[in-house]
Amino acid sequence: MLTHTQAIVISALKYGEADLIVKAYTLSDGLKTYMLKNVLKSKKGKFRASMFQSLTRLEIIANHRGADRMEYLKDAKVANNYMSIYTHPVKMTMAIFLAEMLKNTIREEEGNPALFNYLEYSFEFLDTTERIANFHLVFLLNLTKYLGFQPEQEKNDFPVFNLLEGVFQEIPINDYCIEGKNVDVLKKLLGIDFDALEHIKMNKATRNEFLNMLLLYYELHIEGFHKPKSLSVLKEIFG
């Protein structure tokens, strides 16, 4: 079926000498994988490798044949040229990290307009803001809503958060119950939008501890999840 839709690039992997295998999250059909033939060598083709950098938003025309198929693009153009993500080294590092997180968490090959719109809005905000130190924390926390394991905010006056159940409690009941500073940060970030980032102050140690907790939360709720390879670089930069 020939489909005209928007897509956000998640990853691009070199295949052979000149081909690319591109994973993208599409508005119409969720996660799709495309084979781009000879794109790394041809100077006359309609596709350029630079179009498939992490988080690039595209307008594409593709023949979508169904789930679990390698698809082929008929046409593509950049829908929104980011102003700073690919030129700002810290933003670029964050973009690589977030793209890895999306690659490790999104599996559904079906349309989810709410998730697509969230990703589109988030990356446009990242492109235009200068307050980025805690952006990834808010992004990942809010992403859980669309992945189906958002922390419940009921009883958020309780001092314990159960990572396994995603709820606040009065006392710990298993090895995945956390207390203290990470719970305080969780309560502060739950439900906020990126506009509130300017009011969030966090030192390196607190930020890294909370990120480690978030990644454990993802690991507990997504089968086969593994930490991004770019995690160590991200932590180093925000130190």
| Cβ-defined contacts of 36-43 (< 8 Å, 24+) | 36/73, 40/14, 41/17, 42/18
pLDDT digits (tens, 9 = 90+) for 26-69: 999 999 999 999 888 877 778 888 899 999 999 999 988 877 78
pLDDT for 61-99, tens place per residue? 998 887 778 899 999 999 989 999 999 999 999 999 999
CA 137-140-144 angle, 5° bins: 140
How many other CB atoms are there within 10 angstroms of residue 12's CB atom?
21
pLDDT of residue 65: 84
Same-fold call for 1-81 versus 83-239: no
Ramachandran angles phi, psi of 138, nearest 5°: -65, -40
pTM: 0.93
Contact 95, 80 (CB under 8 A): no
| Topology classification of domain 83-239 | de novo design (two linked rop proteins) (1.20.1440)
- pLDDT, residue 66, reads 77
Query: pLDDT, tens digit, for every residue of 121-179?
Result: 999 999 999 989 899 999 999 999 999 999 998 888 899 999 999 999 999 999 999 99
The Cα–Cα gap between 81 and 117 comes to 17
Q: Which CATH architecture has domain 1-81?
A: Beta Barrel (2.40)
List the domain boundaries for the chain: 1-81, 83-239
Averaged pLDDT for residues 183-206: 92
pLDDT value for 69: 83
- pLDDT attached to residue 235: 81
Residue 237 pLDDT grade (very low, low, confident, very high; cuts 50, 70, 90): confident
Question: By three-state DSSP, how is residue 68 classified?
Answer: coil
Asked if pLDDT for residue 210 goes beyond 60, the answer is yes
How high does pLDDT run on average in the chain? 93
Q: Is residue 217's pLDDT more than 70?
A: yes
Q: What is the pLDDT of residues 151-166, one digit of tens each?
A: 998 888 899 999 999 9
**Residue 239: which pLDDT band, with cuts at 50, 70 and 90?**
low
